[in-house]
């Protein structure tokens, strides 16, 4: 962070300024006194600010394309990709909620350049005659195969932004990218933070920038490593054309960094950003992941859906050469000029669990600090971090405790506090687990399944005590219809949610923090005058 240098005013100029200020205050007082006794002209009367409604915009989420291997290009350039493995599959799953009365917004999945791939619901639909005014339905996209970046969009209705969300899931059982990776279809933005990249030997991190708008985007990157902020030539003024994707090999900008956080800032068109990261330990695949943006710098960051394996197995594998990053860890990035004293708490099913190394760590200013989470009992956790200064956080989760077998890795990004009507897509296949964490007191969470027939099923509720984490396994079907998504709402104290994806019989793992719920119609103050 940069501070503007304060200008020093000479003593004589300062005194002259003070005298002038006193004279101005005295003159203003005289004017106010005269105004109090003189009638005020009608044309000079102040008009109170009114709140003007801002038209709601469409919902848009950019889904990344499939994970692919790099094909021997020079570091720092846009890479050419090798063909996918024989078993690789990439698919987008999504859901769009209707307005009251069952009218679905016009919605579709398309390529970034606007070419339609599949229509979810036609624009200008009519409510069902059998639907009541409060009845809701859903448009669903159940595992649509994709071979590139896509855009999930839904039009606004009655000046309300629609509730819609999508997830892209990649999986492979052969090749160097064995494992699974999933990413939320994220709304484009002009300021994004991504934590958890690595550019050491055997680790490949590729930043993928997508511009789904009609305006060119000029992107600049700020890079933070273990020893401080990095000045990298070629990290500024990156042009991303409308309707296109650009990939940057991070090893060309910041080689040899065990922990790397990327701050993406875009001028012009907003962008979506994701880091495709893969690990190869010798000839053994160590996993693949899509690192998505987390919450902006703040004094508290919360990550849930953190699945920690047996402490003994983790200790055995991480003690071997090349496997130091095969265990769970927390990455803290402090972008400001002051060190952060960070308090770390882990909340499991039965309450808070103590970290072997203690729960208070000093994170250096302008750098990334890694904190091991190994040593706690196996289970699902919510990681709560707080400090006296703003910071960014993400948590690494690994699966596999045998050094000669394929393993997988996933990063849990910091999430948002749950509110009302979050749409949570659940990709097909494997174990799908809704994980909820509550920090203090209690929260009540309702979750209603959306099935492939477009029905929103009856909601169930979970009463979650403060300082605990609750896990709910998603069923494959409800009344013979596949479960495609959930509608989640929370009330009470602060609650957080994530979707944990795993595969029975394999070490695959992915973690997706819930996306923000759709906001209602916004209003801004407008002052009239001349």
pLDDT the model gives residue 54: 56
Average pLDDT, integer, range 285-292: 95
**Average pLDDT taken over every residue of the chain:** 86
- Report the predicted TM-score, pTM, of the whole model to 2 decimal places: 0.85
Distance CA 344, CA 444 (A): 24
Residue 25 has pLDDT above 70, yes or no: no
Encode pLDDT of 307-325 as tens digits: 999 988 898 888 888 898 9
pLDDT the model gives residue 403: 79
CA distances from 166 to 148, 282, 317 (A): 15, 35, 35
User: How is residue 355 annotated by DSSP?
Assistant: -
Residue 298 has pLDDT above 90, yes or no: yes
Distance CA 214, CA 529 (A): 35
Q: 11: helix, coil or strand?
A: helix
User: How is residue 250 annotated by DSSP?
Assistant: G
Distance CA 366, CA 508 (A): 33
- Judge residue 33's burial from the number of C-beta atoms within 10 Å of its C-beta, 0-12 exposed, 13-18 middle, 19 or more buried: exposed
**Cβ pair 493, 466 in contact under 8 A:** yes
pLDDT the model gives residue 52: 56
Distance CA 156, CA 72 (A): 45
Instruction: Please list, in sequence order, all residues whose beta carbon lies within 8 angstroms of the beta carbon of residue 22, skipping any fewer than 6 positions away.
Output: none
Longest CA–CA span in the chain (Å) reads 90
The DSSP bridge partners found for residue 19 are none
Q: With residue 473 as reference, give the H or E element that holds it.
A: strand 468-473
Distance CA 262, CA 221 (A): 7
Residue 127 has pLDDT above 80, yes or no: no
Residue 45 has pLDDT above 50, yes or no: yes
Distance CA 342, CA 345 (A): 10
Residue 74 has pLDDT above 70, yes or no: no
- Judge residue 442's burial from the number of C-beta atoms within 10 Å of its C-beta, 0-12 exposed, 13-18 middle, 19 or more buried: middle
Encode pLDDT of 388-428 as tens digits: 999 999 999 999 988 788 899 999 999 999 999 999 999 99
- Judge residue 395's burial from the number of C-beta atoms within 10 Å of its C-beta, 0-12 exposed, 13-18 middle, 19 or more buried: buried
Distance CA 11, CA 214 (A): 54
Distance CA 98, CA 423 (A): 12
* Higher per-residue confidence, 457 vs 18: 457
Average pLDDT, integer, range 317-337: 93
């Amino acid at each position: 962070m940069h501070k503007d240098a304060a200008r020093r005013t000479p003593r004589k100029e300062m005194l002259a300024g003070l005298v002038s200020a006193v004279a101005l205050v005295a003159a203003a007082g005289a004017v106010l006194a005269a105004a109090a006794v003189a009638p005020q002209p009608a044309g000079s009367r102040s008009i109170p600010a009114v709140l003007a409604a801002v038209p709601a915009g469409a919902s848009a989420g950019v889904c990344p394309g499939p994970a692919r291997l790099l094909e021997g290009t020079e570091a720092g350039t846009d890479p050419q990709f090798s063909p996918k493995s024989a078993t690789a599959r990439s698919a987008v799953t999504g859901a769009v909620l209707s307005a009251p009365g069952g009218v679905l917004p016009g919605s579709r999945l398309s390529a970034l350049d606007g070419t339609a791939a599949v229509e979810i619901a036609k624009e200008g639909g009519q409510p069902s005659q059998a639907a009541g005014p409060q009845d809701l339905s859903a448009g669903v996209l159940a595992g649509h195969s994709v071979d590139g970046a896509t855009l999930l969009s839904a039009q606004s209705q009655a000046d309300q932004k629609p509730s819609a969300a999508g997830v892209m899931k990649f999986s492979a059982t052969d090749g160097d990218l064995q494992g699974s990776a999933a990413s939320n279809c994220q709304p484009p933005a002009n300021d994004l933070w991504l934590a958890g990249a690595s550019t050491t030997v055997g680790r490949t991190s590729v930043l993928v920038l997508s511009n789904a708008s009609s305006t060119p985007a000029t992107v600049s990157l700020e890079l933070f490593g273990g020893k401080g902020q990095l000045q990298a030539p070629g990290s500024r003024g990156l042009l991303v054309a409308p309707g296109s994707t650009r990939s940057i090999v991070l090893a060309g900008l910041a080689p040899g960094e065990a922990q790397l956080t990327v701050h993406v800032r875009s001028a012009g068109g907003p962008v979506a950003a994701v880091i495709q990261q893969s690990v190869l330990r010798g000839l053994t695949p160590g996993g693949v992941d899509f690192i998505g943006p987390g919450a902006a710098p703040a004094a508290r960051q919360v990550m849930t859906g953190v699945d920690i394996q047996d402490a003994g197995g983790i200790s055995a594998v991480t003690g071997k050469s090349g496997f130091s990053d095969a265990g769970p860890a927390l990455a803290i990035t402090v972008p400001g000029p002051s060190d952060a004293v960070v308090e770390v708490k882990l909340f499991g099913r039965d309450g808070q669990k103590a970290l072997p190394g203690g729960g208070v760590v000093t994170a250096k200013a302008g750098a990334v600090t890694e904190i091991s989470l190994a040593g706690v009992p196996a289970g699902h956790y919510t990681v709560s971090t707080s400090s006296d200064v703003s910071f960014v956080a993400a948590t690494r989760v690994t699966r596999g405790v045998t050094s000669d077998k394929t393993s997988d890795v996933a990063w849990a990004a910091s999430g948002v506090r749950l509110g009302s009507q979050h749409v949570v897509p659940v990709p097909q296949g494997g174990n799908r687990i809704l994980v909820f964490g509550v920090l203090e007191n209690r929260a009540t969470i309702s979750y209603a399944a959306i099935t492939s027939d477009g029905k929103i099923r009856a909601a169930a509720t979970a009463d979650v005590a403060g300082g605990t984490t609750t896990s709910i396994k998603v069923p494959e079907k409800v009344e013979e219809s596949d479960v495609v998504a959930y509608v989640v709402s929370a009330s009470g104290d602060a609650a957080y949610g994530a979707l944990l994806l795993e595969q029975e019989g394999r070490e695959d793992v992915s973690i997706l923090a819930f996306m923000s719920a759709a906001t209602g119609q916004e209003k801004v103050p407008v002052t009239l005058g001349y």
